[in-house]
């Protein structure tokens, strides 16, 4: 994997993109905006499942409304994140905090996709099971954790 990271850092396309300040800023803006979409849609649905927000909105309808925004955010995060990673791939590869961040974000994304798909397929019953509420709480905690670790990657490892 280290060899791939070294190759990625020296790739002419990556070097050209990284050396352009405007393109680098566009990637950062896309990354943060995509993360806001991804986390925001997941948090709104989690809070609805827990009975804290949007109580009048049926769960399946809310999940279906938020689904395109969640997927848009995920695509934006993946594409922009890859290019941001590629510019300093060796440094990111060696940073333990970055690996923890990727793990927490991956688990949060998988759980978020699971919650969205289950919520969209659920019935229009106003009552939400205790299991769904617990999963929503775990999803919410993972998203908060992913934000906190994402902020700390540059502070702790000096990368980013």
Q: Where are the domains of the chain?
A: 2-157
pLDDT of residue 160: 62
pLDDT of residue 124: 67
pLDDT of residue 157: 67
Residue 46: CA atoms inside 13 Å, Cβ hemisphere, count?
A: 24
Q: Which residues have C-beta within 8 Å of that of residue 123, sequence separation ≥ 6?
A: 60
- Report the alpha-carbon distance of residue 29 to residue 54 in Å, rounded: 29
pLDDT of residue 118: 85
C-beta separation of 50 from 137 below 8 A: yes
- Report the alpha-carbon distance of residue 109 to residue 115 in Å, rounded: 10
Average confidence (pLDDT) per 10 residues, the chain, 160 residues = 86 87 92 94 92 85 92 96 89 87 93 87 74 90 91 74
């Amino acid at each position: 994997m280290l060899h791939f990271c070294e190759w990625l850092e020296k790739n002419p396309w990556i070097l050209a993109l990284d050396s352009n300040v405007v393109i680098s800023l566009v990637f950062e803006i896309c990354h943060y905006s995509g993360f806001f979409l991804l986390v925001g849609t997941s948090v709104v649905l989690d809070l609805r499942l827990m009975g804290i927000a949007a109580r009048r909105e049926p769960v399946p309808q809310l999940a279906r409304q938020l689904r395109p925004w969640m997927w848009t955010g995920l695509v934006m995060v993946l594409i922009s994140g890859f290019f941001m990673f590629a510019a300093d791939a060796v440094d990111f590869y060696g940073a333990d905090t970055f690996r923890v961040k990727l793990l927490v974000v991956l688990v949060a994304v998988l759980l978020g996709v699971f919650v969205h798909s289950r919520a969209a397929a659920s019935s229009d019953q106003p009552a939400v099971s205790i299991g769904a509420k617990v999963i929503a709480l775990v999803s919410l905690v993972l998203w908060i954790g992913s934000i906190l670790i994402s902020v700390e990657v540059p502070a702790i490892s000096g990368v980013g």
